[in-house]
């Protein structure tokens, strides 16, 4: 199974580049940390696009294109238009919410070259989604619960890189901490526990790749996560984790 890794910080990026990952999903603001010979592996991820930031984001993307970056993660239809404008290869994110072969075929016709399927499916349902392009699933990571326009910590606009992760969190009534990530454009409220499916890899054996999503992990934690993936480890008893909906399904 091929490995894709999504990162938020420079430390996570270094771990991803040193790993066997065939693709590294990297935010626009970290691209200047990537040596030339690694650029082919990189899939650029864009911040949330608003009318107010779209021109600035496109200008930065144009610079990245001229440096040799050629791949873009598609979260929504705007990214298909942007990819066409800059002649970028498109990779689909779980946010496209592809749950069937009809949808997969339509997105493939629009230029998608591979995609993560919806995170709201059963593992068994994923096996039935087939088409011309490779499909993958999220095997690890804290998934966003909600996107906010203001940072609850600063009380104002989202904190900007390099302190993109302002280390703020919200507390559930039961005391669990929901981390927040600011990317300079929006704030993402994350699940308290990461999804963990390394020990369930055989249920996904028909898929082409799995995506490991790093959010709040330090570089050392990210290394430990990739080591656990190699060994198909179960989550440790101390680790709070979730299986997502892959096995429960939607009721
Ligand atoms: Zn913040």
Residues 129 and 220 in one domain: yes
Q: Say if 122 falls within a structural domain.
A: yes
According to the model, what pLDDT value does residue 87 have?
Answer: 97
CATH number at residue 35: 3.20.20.70
Distance from Cα 30 to the centre of ligand 1, integer Å: 18
Whether residue 244 lies inside any domain: the answer is no
Q: What is the per-residue pLDDT across 134-162, written as a single tens digit (0 to 9) for each?
A: 999 999 999 988 888 888 888 888 887 66
168: containing domain? 144-190
Same domain, 49 and 135: yes
**Based on the domain organization, do 160 and 91 belong to the same domain?**
no
The burial of 146, by beta-carbon neighbours within 10 Å (0-12 exposed, 13-18 middle, 19 or more buried), is given as exposed
How close is the Cα of 97 to the center of ligand 1, in Å? 27
**What is the C-alpha to C-alpha distance for residues 164 and 149, in angstroms, rounded to an integer?**
14
* Residue 171 shares a structural domain with residue 208: no
Residues 139 and 17 in one domain: yes
> DSSP labels for 177-203?
EEEEEE-SS-EEEEPSS-EE-GGGGGG
Instruction: List b or e across 11-30, with b for residues whose CB sees 16 or more CB atoms inside 10 angstroms.
Output: bbbebbbebebebbbbbbbb
Q: Give distance in angstroms: CA of 180 to centre of ligand 1.
A: 7
Do 44 and 64 touch, CB atoms closer than 8 A?
A: yes
**What's the pLDDT score for residue 164?**
57
Ligand 1 centroid distance, CA of 27 (Å): 17
107 and 219 belong to one structural domain: yes
Sequential DSSP letters for 111-166 = TEEEEEPPTTS-HHHHHT---SSEEEEEEEEPPEEEEESS-TTTSSSPPPTTS---
Assigned token pair, 12: 């996570």
Residues lying with their CB under 5 A of ligand 1, a single-atom ion: 151, 153, 159, 166, 182
Does residue 55 sit in the same domain as residue 174?
no
Distance 166 CA to ligand 1 centre (A): 5
Considering the domain architecture, whether residues 105 and 39 belong to the same structural domain is answered as: yes
**Angle subtended at Cα 190 by Cα 187 and Cα 193, rounded to the nearest 5 degrees:** 165
**74 alpha carbon – ligand 1 mean position (Å):** 25
User: pTM for the full model?
Assistant: 0.93
C-alpha 161 – ligand 1 centre gap (Å)? 10
pLDDT of residue 251: 47
For the chain, how many structural domains are there in total?
A: 2
CA 71–ligand 1 middle distance (angstroms): 28
Whole-number pLDDT of residue 165: 64
149 alpha carbon to ligand 1 midpoint, in Å? Answer: 10
Ligand 1 centroid–CA 193 distance in Å is 20
80 burial class (0-12, 13-18, 19+ CB within 10 angstroms)?
A: middle
CA of 151 to the centre of ligand 1 (A): 5
Please check whether residue 44 is in contact with residue 68, taking contact to mean a CB–CB distance below 8 angstroms: no
Question: 187: CA distance to ligand 1 center in Å?
Answer: 7
Do 139 and 24 share a domain, yes or no?
yes
Which residues of the chain are under the pLDDT cut of 70?
A: 161-165, 238, 245-251
Place of tokens 């680790």: 239
Query: 210 and 180 in one domain?
Result: no
130 located within any domain: yes
């Amino acid at each position: 199974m091929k490995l894709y890794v999504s990162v938020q910080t420079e430390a996570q990026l270094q771990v991803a580049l040193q790993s066997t990952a065939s693709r590294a999903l990297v935010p626009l603001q970290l691209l200047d940390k990537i040596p030339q010979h690694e650029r082919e592996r990189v899939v650029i991820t864009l911040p949330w696009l608003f009318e107010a930031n779209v021109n600035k984001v496109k200008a930065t993307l144009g610079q990245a294109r001229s440096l040799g970056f050629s791949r873009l993660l598609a979260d929504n239809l705007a990214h298909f238009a942007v990819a066409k404008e800059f002649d970028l290869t498109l990779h689909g994110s779980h946010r496209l919410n592809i749950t069937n072969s009809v949808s997969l075929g339509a997105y493939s016709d629009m230029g998608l070259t591979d995609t993560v399927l919806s995170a709201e499916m059963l593992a068994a349902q994923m096996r039935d989604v087939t088409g011309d392009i490779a499909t993958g699933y999220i095997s690890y990571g804290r998934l966003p619960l909600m996107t906010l326009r203001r940072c609850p910590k600063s009380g104002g606009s989202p904190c900007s890189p390099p302190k993109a992760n302002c280390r703020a969190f919200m507390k559930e009534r039961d005391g669990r901490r929901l981390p927040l990530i600011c990317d300079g454009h929006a704030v993402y409220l994350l699940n308290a526990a990461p999804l963990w499916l390394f020990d369930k890899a055989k249920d996904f054996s028909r898929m082409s790749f799995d995506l490991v999503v790093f959010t709040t992990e330090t570089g050392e934690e990210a290394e430990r996560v990739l080591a656990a993936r190699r060994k198909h480890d179960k989550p440790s008893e101390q680790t709070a984790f979730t299986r997502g909906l892959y096995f429960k399904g939607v009721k």
